[in-house]
Amino acid sequence: MRDKSLKSSDFDALFELIASLETAEDCRELFSDLCTNKEIEQMAQRIGAAKLLLEGKTYQQVTDTFDISSATLSRVSRCVKYSSGYNKFLK
């Protein structure tokens, strides 16, 4: 659920800024300012989990690889099955 204090233009500005990044180093610099190390780690784990699910790995195989909660893994799995982001960018 979106924070009511953030306007659509705030989200647009964030996504436009991210889309303007040209290199992995640019991303590293911006995300290190925007997020804590733990938040970046959790995002990286979600991407890794999505990759494994797309490869056909089981929940157990994913949790053996990543320290990810069952709730988070379930959400990643739903996104892999029913959303386009992971499928579009990780295949």
Do 40 and 32 contact (CB within 8 A), yes or no? Answer: yes
Predicted model pTM: 0.83
Across 2-30, average pLDDT = 88
Domains of the chain: 8-90 (1.10.1270.10)
pLDDT band at 84 (very low <50, low <70, confident <90, very high): confident
Across 64-79, average pLDDT = 95
At 3 the pLDDT is: 55
Give dist(CA 43, CA 76) in Å, integer: 11
pLDDT in tens, 21-36: 999 999 999 999 999 9
- Tally of residues, the chain: 91
